[in-house]
Amino acid sequence: MLDIKCIVAIVERGKAERIVKAAKEVGASGATIFYGRGTGESEVKKFLNVHIEASKEIILILIEREKKNQILEAMVKAGDLKKPGTGIIFTLPVKDLIGLHHREAFED
């Protein structure tokens, strides 16, 4: 059974395509990008004096655990995500994966 992780990145609008391209170059097979709006803009701006754009792009990438670090590093570099105010990125474990027909069946 494969150990699957989900990489989630929340970035400023317009940056997702570049970040996904970098992820694919190091082994990601695909990604889902959708749009959102942050709610903490005024609080962050008030305390850190940093402009945070409310419109966001959310990237979801499902990957095998052994590819996680390489893909994560490429995404951080492509999005300059270590710089304050550029976005956040994190991983989550994935259980009960159904619907990816191009991969082998997953069982508990």
The pLDDT value given to residue 10: 96
State the Cα–Cα distance between residues 57 and 6, nearest whole angstrom: 16
**Model pLDDT for residues 62-106, shown as the tens digit of each residue:** 999 999 999 999 999 999 999 988 999 999 999 888 876 555 544
**Model pLDDT for residues 27-36, shown as the tens digit of each residue:** 999 999 999 9
SS3 at position 7: strand
Residue 47 has pLDDT above 60, yes or no: no
In DSSP terms, 7 is beta-bridged to 61, 91
Is pLDDT larger for residue 47 or for residue 13? 13
Contact 23, 6 (CB under 8 A): no
Structure tokens at 88: 């956040």
The pLDDT value given to residue 40: 64
Q: Where are the domains of the chain?
A: 4-93
The pLDDT value given to residue 58: 97
CATH class of 4-93: alpha beta
pLDDT averaged over every residue in the chain: 85
CB-based burial label for 106 (10 Å; 0-12, 13-18, 19+): middle
The pLDDT value given to residue 96: 83
Q: Which has the closest alpha carbon to 94: 9, 6, 8? A: 6
